[in-house]
Structure 1
Amino acid sequence: MKRILVTVCSVLILAFGNKSLAAEPFEAEVEARQAFMQVLKFNLGILGDMAKGNREYDAKLAEALAKNIHAASQMNNGAMWPVGSDNSNSAISTNAKPEAWSQYPKVAEKHGIWIEASGALALNAGNGLSELQKNIGAVGKSCQGCHKLVKADD
């Protein structure tokens, strides 16, 4: 009986608990990278509101959020971007264009710009509103530069 229970549980875990066995191809990878972008959007949104005066500037919060963005820029997310997980694949829902892979040297260059810009933001965001305002634009510009290459319009 114990052996049957272990076998059934193992099968259930493999069938339902492992995203790599998802019904749709690249489902787990696309879900992960979309969640990653949502986290960035959340952090940048608060900083942007502070920079625009739509939210009170909070040095500690600004510094923490900027450090989150910089830490995210340094993550190795290659596993989230397998070849074929783009919008030419009708089996998945993504805005990633095939150019994400065919223009990889340019994408890597844009990523390097993001790392630099987010590093400067992380160092300065907690040093006053003017420092936040001075540094946040470069982060937004770096994001936009990459998105123009690899993201289809919504």
Structure 2
Amino acid sequence: MIKLKGIVAAVATVSALGSSAVFAQDVEKVIEARQSFMQLYSFNLGLVGEMAKGNTEYDPEIAASAAQNLLALAKMNNSQMWPEGSSKADAGLDEMTRALPEMWSTFPKVLEKQDALTSALENFATVAGKDLDSLRGGMKAVGDGCKGCHTDFRAKKEEG
């Protein structure tokens, strides 16, 4: 059943990435939407990250809620936020996005990375609210899942 869901999601995503419907919107609006989406990840990761580091007191309700939010984000179909032609290399977008064109040229890799993150977050959602050690134990796989895409498909932040 899970493999079937993955195949359906992959087909839907590939179809969406090739869709011209996204271009009915201004590509800048699409990039703003995906940046907002990533801010939701960042906010929730910040909540559990500060607990894991010991910077804030561990709260099982907040930890569980943030983990569930992260999992919901990972499962959300956001393919319309990632149309081909919206990378850092595309005309006029260098200052707006750090998405690299490799995301589209090596597309099946993106799905593999997304599956790894979703899997890590499924586990994390079951352990984050148990206790601080469990939260900390789940954080590495989540971080590795995030890095999977960011390392391969996002340009480093320019110093300046």
TM-score (norm 1): 0.83
Match of residue 87 from structure 2: 86
Match of residue 61 from structure 2: 60
Q: Which runs of 5+ in 1 are unaligned?
A: 1-19
Instruction: Report the CA distance between 1:21 and its aligned residue.
Output: 4.9
AA at the equivalent of 1:139? V
CA RMSD of aligned residues (A): 1.3
Q: Give the whole-Å Cα distance in 1 for the aligned partners of 2:82 and 2:92.
A: 16
- Higher-Rg structure is 1
Size of the aligned set, in residue pairs, is: 133
Instruction: Report the CA distance between 1:90 and its aligned residue.
Output: 3.0
Runs of 4+ residues over 4 Å off in structure 1: none
Tell whether 2:111 aligns with 1:108. yes
Q: Give the whole-Å Cα distance in 2 for the aligned partners of 1:117 and 1:128.
A: 17
TM-score (norm 2): 0.80
Q: Percent identity?
A: 44
Q: Which runs of 5+ in 2 are unaligned?
A: 1-23
Match of residue 100 from structure 2: 97
Contact 1:83/1:101 (8 A) holds in 2: yes
SS in structure 2 of the partner of residue 122 of structure 1 = helix
Q: Give the whole-Å Cα distance in 1 for the aligned partners of 2:107 and 2:146.
A: 15
Match of residue 28 from structure 2: 27
After superposition, what is the alpha-carbon deviation per residue over 1:80-100, rounded to whole angstroms, capped at 9, x for unaligned?
000100011132211000001
